[in-house]
Amino acid sequence: MLNTSLQVLSKDGTIADNSYQVIAEDGVIPQGDVVLTTAQLDQLTLVQGKKALYITVNDSPETHQFPLNELDAIFIEFAGFGDGRGYSFAALLRRQGYQGELRAVGDVFKDVLNYLKRSGFDTFVVKEGKDIHEAAAGLKDFTHPYQASTAVPQASYQTGA
């Protein structure tokens, strides 16, 4: 599941420590910010801090109803480079009106960050073993996208920028 010791990269290039914790195997809900799996959603009201939901490829927002108004963040897992469902999940959640933080976790690295950002992600947990500072620098590789997207409703060619 989630490695909560890894730092979080924001779409603006800033790096911060992760504040979310997972529920222990004994079921004790930690104090502070907590990330729950879809199987733990019934415990959402017991969380005292910020509330996050961790979804995998088996938890499609197309087939599951999530309490979007009660969540501060949604973590979307990328199990492997070749599986792009997380991009679709992010775009779908944004179309469903979710305004909170979308965080990409799992197989996340520099080369995919701009695509993730354009799909609606706000933060990223770069894969263990990859350089988060190098990834942060890569966020500046593309500043004026040609195509419109979830994150860019009107592209540069449409605005004259």
Q: Does residue 149 sit within a domain? A: yes
The length of the chain is: 161
The pTM score is: 0.86
Domain at 31, CATH number: 3.40.50
Query: pLDDT tens for residues 104-159?
Result: 999 999 899 999 998 999 999 999 999 999 999 888 765 655 555 555 555 555 55
Q: Does residue 1 sit within a domain? A: no
Residue 55 scores a pLDDT above 90: yes
**What type of residue is 5?**
S
DSSP state of 82: T
Domain that holds residue 82: 8-159
Q: Does residue 2 sit within a domain? A: no
**Half-sphere exposure at residue 109, Cβ-oriented, CA atoms within 13 angstroms:** 11
For 74-102, b where at least 16 C-beta lie within 10 A, e where not — what string? bbbbbeeeeeebbbebbbbbbeeebebbb
- The span from the CA of 58 to the CA of 48, in Å, is 27
- The span from the CA of 100 to the CA of 68, in Å, is 8
Query: pLDDT tens for residues 56-115?
Result: 999 999 999 999 999 999 999 998 878 889 999 999 999 999 999 999 999 999 899 999
Question: Sign of torsion, CA 123 126 80 4?
Answer: negative
Counted domains in the chain: 1
